[in-house]
């Protein structure tokens, strides 16, 4: 799982906070944009790929992707 990292689709995020409450590394926080509360992955490099956030997300806003692929997206 070290090669996997969480990726958050903020457009799908409902702001329920389940990812925030379940992440053992406290990698998520809330951000308000356009009067809508959404989760933000604040430090993706610390993600261990444990899948707890992915399993708890009721709207499938979180997926696991290959760590190299995730860093390619950040460019």
Distance CA 27, CA 54 (A): 13
Q: What CATH number is associated with residue 68?
A: 3.30.70.20
pLDDT tens track for 1-29: 568 899 999 889 999 999 999 999 999 99
Beta bridge partners of 5: 65
pLDDT tens track for 29-44: 988 877 788 898 888 8
Range of the domain at 12: 4-74
Share of the chain residues as helix, strand and coil, in percent rounded to the nearest 5:
30, 30, 45
The pair of three-digit structure tokens given for residue 6, joined into one six-digit string:
């969480």
Confidence label for 75 from pLDDT (cuts 50, 70 and 90): very low
What's the total number of domains in the chain? 1
The pair of three-digit structure tokens given for residue 48, joined into one six-digit string:
């261990």
Number of helices (H) and strands (E) in the chain: give both, helices first.
3, 4
């Amino acid at each position: 799982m070290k090669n996997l990292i969480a990726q958050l689709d903020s457009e799908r995020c409902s702001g329920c906070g389940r990812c925030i409450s379940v992440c053992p590394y406290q990698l998520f926080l809330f951000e308000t944009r356009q009067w809508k509360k959404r989760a933000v992955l604040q430090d993706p490099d610390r993600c261990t790929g444990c899948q707890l956030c992915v399993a708890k997300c009721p709207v499938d806003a979180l997926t696991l992707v290959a760590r190299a692929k995730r860093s390619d997206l950040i460019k």
